[in-house]
């Protein structure tokens, strides 16, 4: 992509292809759309590749309720190149390789300035707003001129998208772009959870519920911190083999626990309980199991999964009283602009192992196959290439 | 009352002692003052003469409860101070005549958790509300005069002139400290102050909300005050607590009965512009824990539960809230403190006039008046009632 072709579209709407969700649970439809130029503090980017994350699937299935919107462009794990910038945009220029991220970082608010939090809420508190700064106005229109809704400030299942600078991270062009895309959501979330939220120390025992991309990234994160016992919990025994690559030492298949609960099995395996547990699926019952798997006195549970039916989590008050901690985290507690470049750097220095997370590659036209592969449990990350 | 000669050899004082105790025979009924027999200490145990003991709400909880882990007849009480009367074999930590605080939280000093900085939950003696001595299975040191076994409580059982404790449940302290102040550190004040210092690690300038202004809540306020919190908001249904609370550093008060159409958490979110840095639940109600969670600040807010609810009670959280709002929920027993390490530190801070204990003691009574103490606590008319043995 050379600069000349990028600058020819500057300031004008772009007509391009997008995979649109028109009806819950149904195949995305590839259609021509119009993408408006970026407003002040926004950037329009050309997506190079994007991968499917389970959160996309969760929203894809939502038929009704306040979180469902149609039509919508899903996708939020991706890598792109800056096509044009809006007014007042510093730090990005045409041609930059960038990661759009659902997690905002305005760098100015109290939370952004605090090391304790990554919970920026500047400009909007509504994570389903179409834009960060301008409310529900959308940059996408379909070929009938109808508004298409954005998705968590990214919308990457499209050849072009418009992203607020609070949701954009510039990265080194050295890292293979498909690996980079993983750092815009799943892998960063998992590693951040291990390093920042849990702050796992050497010699720890860790239980990881759900060995998808996020869970495996947690495993990699805790392995690098020197955890000595890493227990993976998954219904798919094939995940253990993959998990071993990331330091997994033990495996629990809930289907084979018999009369015992998963937490009972884990407590037996660890004498009293794990130091840390991570829930990386999004099921309230497993969040409870993860909580009950930890060691009294110091056990910490980190919730990463988004509950698929918004069910409540129920914790025993005596279990909590016995010195346990539970918290949830978005994006692994990381501040995107600060922390993603650090992860990129560690990958380039071969300290961070991300091999094997990309199990499939598809062309944009084949994007619906990615949903099937994930539903069948046969993929970890499926990368969809825009230009192939 | 036989107690053996303190100057005599230890072996000869290892006889059962006959003494007075306040026995809880039936749930919710007045304790019965009776003579009981207290057996000599086994290996790793000490027998102590109680100087004074204070009433804590956990005693009331297990006095009222009609289902396990409540059991009867039982000797309640776990906040106290005493003098070692005799020691069992293998006891090196203390000798006869030493002043000790009994602590319901075991601190064996040897297991992985006792050795870890992160935990105060000894795994050698896992915490549970047991009727027995911790080290020996189904073993009690108390019998009544009919020979019936009396159950222990929280490893202490201080509503008795003499009791027997495991070495894991005692801390030797300086005998010059006024007993009616020192005894508070064996449970309530340590729990509250520890929760602020150790569990939450409240920083200077923080905004803190405390649900329940009993002794624990007020101790949390004291701890938060010492940590330099700038706003300490107290929540209670009894407006009298605000007056009292001001002595403990409470800066604002919310009466949860008079919030009209709003929930307490809504009121607090408004008062604090989005929630407190730390919320402490010091009542023992799961629904209140949920309220506290709802008004701790998104992004870094911590909610800490200290109160003991009914067995089996559940705290229900909205999963969306848990994932999306960056809050932390934690519980702790005994304020996260390791008895043998931290109690001496708290006593030092008392002696250097930083930690104030006098204001916690609102009543001093005789042991025989113990049932009046229960009444005062049930009616919310006291903070700590200290009962002095004869």
pLDDT digits (tens, 9 = 90+) for A292-324: 999 999 999 999 998 888 899 999 999 999 999
Contact at CB, A317 and B305, closer than 8 angstroms: yes
If phi > 0 it is left, if psi is from -120 to 50 it is alpha, else beta; for residue B33 that is beta
C-alpha distances in angstroms, B7 versus B4, B11, B12, B89?
9, 12, 11, 18
Q: State how far the Cα of A109 lies from the Cα of A121, in Å rounded to an integer.
A: 8
Locate A352 and state its tokens.
């961070």
Task: Let me know: does B119 contact B334? Beta carbons within 8 Å.
Answer: no
Q: State how far the Cα of A284 lies from the Cα of A241, in Å rounded to an integer.
A: 26
Q: State how far the Cα of B385 lies from the Cα of A126, in Å rounded to an integer.
A: 51
- What local confidence, expressed as pLDDT, does residue A6 receive? 54
Q: State how far the Cα of B148 lies from the Cα of B178, in Å rounded to an integer.
A: 36
Residue A24 DSSP label: T
Distance from CA of B296 to the nearest CA of A (A): 13
Nearest-CB residue to B323 (from A272, A306, A312): A306
Size of interface A-B (CB pairs under 8 A): 146
If phi > 0 it is left, if psi is from -120 to 50 it is alpha, else beta; for residue B248 that is alpha
Which of A55, A320, A325, A330 to mutate: most B Cβ within 10 Å? A320
- What local confidence, expressed as pLDDT, does residue B309 receive? 85
Nearest-CB residue to B319 (from A117, A287, A297): A287
Nearest to B222 by CA among B60, B58, B384: B384
Distance from CA of B1 to the nearest CA of A (A): 40
Which of B331, B332, B335, B336 to mutate: most A Cβ within 10 Å? B331
Contacts of A319 in chain B (CB under 8 A): 331
Cβ contacts of residue B74 below 8 Å, gap of 6+? Answer: B23, B24, B62, B131, B150, B151, B152, B153, B157
Task: Let me know: does A355 contact A245? Beta carbons within 8 Å.
Answer: yes
Q: Can you tell me whether residue A55 is helix, strand or coil?
A: helix
Nearest-10 Cα torsion for A379, A300, A227, A184: 40
- What local confidence, expressed as pLDDT, does residue A378 receive? 83
Contact at CB, B315 and A330, closer than 8 angstroms: no
Contact at CB, A119 and B300, closer than 8 angstroms: yes
Contacts of A296 in chain B (CB under 8 A): 119, 121, 123, 126-127
Contact at CB, A326 and B322, closer than 8 angstroms: yes
Contact at CB, B286 and A325, closer than 8 angstroms: no
Contact at CB, A327 and B120, closer than 8 angstroms: no
Contact at CB, B320 and A307, closer than 8 angstroms: yes
Q: State how far the Cα of B84 lies from the Cα of B86, in Å rounded to an integer.
A: 6
> Which CATH homologous superfamily contains domain A186-333?
NAD(P)-binding Rossmann-like Domain (3.40.50.720)
Q: State how far the Cα of A106 lies from the Cα of A110, in Å rounded to an integer.
A: 10
Q: State how far the Cα of B258 lies from the Cα of B309, in Å rounded to an integer.
A: 24
Residue of A nearest to B284 (CA): A317
Contact at CB, B315 and A315, closer than 8 angstroms: yes
Nearest-CB residue to A317 (from B298, B313, B333): B313
Contacts of A272 in chain B (CB under 8 A): 113, 123, 126
Contacts of A111 in chain B (CB under 8 A): 299-300
| DSSP characters over A66-126 | TT--SSB----EEEEEEEEE-TT--S--TT-EEEE-SS---SSSHHHH-TT-----SS-S-
Measured distance between the N- and C-terminal CA atoms of chain A, rounded to whole angstroms? 14
Residue of B nearest to A313 (CA): B317
Nearest-CB residue to B318 (from A296, A312, A329): A312
Residue of A nearest to B330 (CA): A325
Residue of A nearest to B285 (CA): A317
Angle between helices B57-64 and B370-378 (to 10 degrees): 90
Q: State how far the Cα of A112 lies from the Cα of A337, in Å rounded to an integer.
A: 11
Residue of A nearest to B120 (CA): A297
Nearest-CB residue to A297 (from B113, B311, B315): B113
Cβ contacts of residue A385 below 8 Å, gap of 6+? Answer: A48, A49, A361, A362, A363, A364
Contacts of B306 in chain A (CB under 8 A): 321
HSE (side-chain half, CA atoms, 13 Å) at B106: 26
Residue B73, preceding peptide bond in cis (omega within 30° of 0): yes
For residue B79, the surrounding DSSP H or E stretch is strand B79-87
Task: Let me know: does B173 contact B100? Beta carbons within 8 Å.
Answer: yes
For B80-107, b/e burial (b = at least 16 CB within 10 A) is: bbbbbbbbbeebebbebebbbbbbbbbb
Which of A66, A323, A333 to mutate: most B Cβ within 10 Å? A323
Contacts of A329 in chain B (CB under 8 A): 323, 326
Neighbours of A67 (CB within 10 A): 12
Contact at CB, B323 and A304, closer than 8 angstroms: yes
Q: What is the edge-to-edge ordering of all strands in the sheet holding A140-142?
A: A14-20, A29-35, A140-142, A147-148
Q: State how far the Cα of B188 lies from the Cα of A374, in Å rounded to an integer.
A: 53
Contact at CB, B322 and A313, closer than 8 angstroms: yes
Let me know if B330 is exposed, middle or buried by CB neighbors in 10 A (0-12, 13-18, 19+). Answer: buried
Helices (H) and strands (E) in chain B, counts: 11, 18
Give the ranges where chain A is alpha helix by DSSP (H): 3-7, 54-61, 110-113, 177-182, 186-192, 213-224, 238-245, 262-269, 284-292, 317-321, 336-348, 367-375
Task: Flag residues of chain A having pLDDT under 50.
Answer: 1, 3-4
Task: Let me know: does A218 contact A192? Beta carbons within 8 Å.
Answer: no
- What local confidence, expressed as pLDDT, does residue A5 receive? 54
Nearest-CB residue to A328 (from B120, B289, B324): B324
Contacts of B272 in chain A (CB under 8 A): none
Contact at CB, A321 and B311, closer than 8 angstroms: no
Contact at CB, A330 and B324, closer than 8 angstroms: yes
Question: What are residue A381's phi and psi, to 5 degrees?
Answer: -120, 130
- Say what the pTM is: 0.91
Three state DSSP letters for A292-317: HCECCCCCEEEECCCCCCCCEEEEEH
Task: Let me know: does B192 contact B333? Beta carbons within 8 Å.
Answer: no
Residue B184, preceding peptide bond in cis (omega within 30° of 0): no
Q: State how far the Cα of A116 lies from the Cα of A291, in Å rounded to an integer.
A: 23
**Widest Cα–Cα separation across chain A:** 66
pLDDT per residue as tens, chain B (390 positions): 334 444 444 454 579 999 999 999 999 999 999 999 999 999 999 999 999 999 999 999 999 999 988 999 999 999 999 999 999 999 999 999 999 999 999 999 999 999 999 999 999 999 989 999 999 989 999 999 999 999 999 999 999 999 999 999 999 999 989 999 999 999 999 999 999 999 999 999 999 999 999 999 999 999 999 999 999 999 999 999 999 999 999 999 999 988 888 999 999 999 999 999 999 999 999 999 999 999 999 989 999 999 988 888 999 999 988 988 889 999 999 999 999 999 999 999 999 999 999 999 999 999 999 999 999 999 989 999 999 998
Contact at CB, B314 and A316, closer than 8 angstroms: yes
Contact at CB, B123 and A297, closer than 8 angstroms: yes
Contact at CB, B123 and A272, closer than 8 angstroms: yes
Spell out the domain ranges in chain A: 80-149, 186-333, 357-387
Contacts of B331 in chain A (CB under 8 A): 317, 319-324
Contact at CB, B323 and A328, closer than 8 angstroms: yes
Angle between helices A54-61 and A367-375 (to 10 degrees): 100
Domains of chain B: 17-186+356-388 (3.90.180.10), 189-335 (3.40.50.720)
Task: Let me know: does A162 contact A187? Beta carbons within 8 Å.
Answer: no
For residue A163, the surrounding DSSP H or E stretch is strand A160-164
Interface of B with A (CB under 8 A): 113, 116, 118-121, 123, 126-127, 286, 289, 298-300, 305-306, 308-309, 311-333, 336
HSE (side-chain half, CA atoms, 13 Å) at B320: 6
Task: Let me know: does B142 contact B21? Beta carbons within 8 Å.
Answer: yes
Name the pairing type of β-strands B302-305 and B328-331. Answer: parallel
Contact at CB, A306 and B315, closer than 8 angstroms: no
Distance from CA of A312 to the nearest CA of B (A): 5
Residue B277 DSSP label: S
Residue A197 DSSP label: I
Contact at CB, B331 and A322, closer than 8 angstroms: yes
Interface of A with B (CB under 8 A): 111, 114, 116-119, 121, 127, 271-272, 284, 287, 295-298, 303-307, 310-330, 333
């Amino acid at each position: 992509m050379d600069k000349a072709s990028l600058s020819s579209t500057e300031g004008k709407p772009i007509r391009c292809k997008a995979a649109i969700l028109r009806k819950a649970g149904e195949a995305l439809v590839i259609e021509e759309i119009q993408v408006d130029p970026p407003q002040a503090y926004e950037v329009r980017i050309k997506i190079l590749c994007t991968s499917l994350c389970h959160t996309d699937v969760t929203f894809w299935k939502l038929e009704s309720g306040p979180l469902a919107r149609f039509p919508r462009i899903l996708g939020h794990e991706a890598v792109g190149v800056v096509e044009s910038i809006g007014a007042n945009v510093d730090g990005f220029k045409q041609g930059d390789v960038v990661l759009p991220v659902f997690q905002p970082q305005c760098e100015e608010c109290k939370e952004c300035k605090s090391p304790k939090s990554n919970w920026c809420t500047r400009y909007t508190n509504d994570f389903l707003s179409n834009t960060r700064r301008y409310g529900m106005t959308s940059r996408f229109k379909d070929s009938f001129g109808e508004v298409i809704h954005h998705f968590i400030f990214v919308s990457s299942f499209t050849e072009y998208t418009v992203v607020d600078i609070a949701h954009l991270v510039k990265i080194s062009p050295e890292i293979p772009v498909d690996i980079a895309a993983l750092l815009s959501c799943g892998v960063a979330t998992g590693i951040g959870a291990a390093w920042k939220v849990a702050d796992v120390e050497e010699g720890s025992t860790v239980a990881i519920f759900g060995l998808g991309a996020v869970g495996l990234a947690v495993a990699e994160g805790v392995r690098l911190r020197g955890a000595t016992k890493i227990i993976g919990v998954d219904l798919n025994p094939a995940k253990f083999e993959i998990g071993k690559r990331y330091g997994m030492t033990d495996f629990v298949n809930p289907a084979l626990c018999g009369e015992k609960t998963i937490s009972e099995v884990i407590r037996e395996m660890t004498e009293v309980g794990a130091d840390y547990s991570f829930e990386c699926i999004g099921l309230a019952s497993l969040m409870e199991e993860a909580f009950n798997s930890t060691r009294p006195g110091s056990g910490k549970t980190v919730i990463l999964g988004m509950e698929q039916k918004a069910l409540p989590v129920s914790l025993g008050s005596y279990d909590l009283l016995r010195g346990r901690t539970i918290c949830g985290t978005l994006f692994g507690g990381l501040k995107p602009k600060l922390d993603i470049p650090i992860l990129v750097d560690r990958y380039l220095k071969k300290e961070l192992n991300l091999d094997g997370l990309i199990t499939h590659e598809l062309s944009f036209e084949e994007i619906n196959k990615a949903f099937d592969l994930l539903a069948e449990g046969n993929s970890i990350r499926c990368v969809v290439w825009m230009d192939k | 009352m036989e107690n053996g000669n303190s100057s005599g050899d230890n072996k000869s004082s290892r006889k059962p002692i006959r003494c007075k105790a306040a026995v809880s025979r039936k749930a919710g009924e007045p304790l019965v003052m009776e003579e009981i027999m207290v057996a000599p200490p086994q290996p790793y145990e000490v027998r102590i003469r109680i100087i004074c003991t204070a009433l804590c709400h956990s005693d009331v909880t297990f006095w009222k409860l009609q289902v396990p882990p409540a059991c009867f007849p039982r000797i309640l009480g776990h906040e106290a101070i005493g003098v070692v009367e005799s020691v069992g074999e293998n006891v090196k930590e203390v000798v006869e005549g030493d002043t000790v605080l009994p602590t319901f939280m075991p601190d064996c000093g040897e297991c992985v958790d006792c050795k870890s900085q992160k935990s105060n939950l000894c795994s050698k003696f896992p915490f549970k509300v047991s009727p027995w001595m911790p080290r020996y299975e189904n073993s009690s040191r108390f019998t009544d005069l009919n020979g019936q076994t009396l159950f222990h409580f929280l490893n202490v059982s201080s509503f008795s002139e003499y009791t027997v404790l495991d070495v894991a449940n005692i801390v030797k302290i300086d005998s010059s400290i006024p007993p009616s102040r020192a005894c508070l550190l064996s449970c309530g004040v340590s729990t509250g102050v520890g929760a602020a210092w150790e569990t939450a690690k409240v920083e200077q300038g923080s905004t803190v909300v405390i649900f329940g202004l009993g002794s624990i809540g007020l101790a949390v306020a004291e701890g938060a005050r010492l940590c330099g919190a700038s706003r300490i908001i107290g929540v209670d249904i009894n407006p009298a607590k605000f007056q009292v609370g001001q002595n403990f550093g409470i800066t604002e008060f919310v009466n949860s009965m008079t919030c009209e159409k709003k929930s307490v958490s809504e009121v607090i979110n408004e008062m604090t512009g989005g929630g407190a840095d730390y919320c402490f639940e010091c009542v023992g109600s799961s629904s209140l824990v949920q309220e506290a969670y709802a008004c701790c600040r998104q992004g870094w807010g911590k909610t800490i539960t200290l109160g003991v609810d009914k067995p089996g009670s559940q705290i229900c959280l909205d999963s969306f809230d848990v994932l999306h709002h960056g809050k932390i929920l934690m519980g702790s027993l005994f304020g996260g403190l390791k008895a043998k390490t931290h109690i001496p530190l708290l006593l030092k801070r008392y002696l250097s006039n930083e930690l104030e204990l006098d204001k916690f003691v609102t009543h001093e009574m005789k042991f025989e008046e113990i049932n009046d103490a229960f009444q005062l606590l049930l009616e919310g008319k006291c903070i700590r009632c200290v009962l002095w043995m004869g």
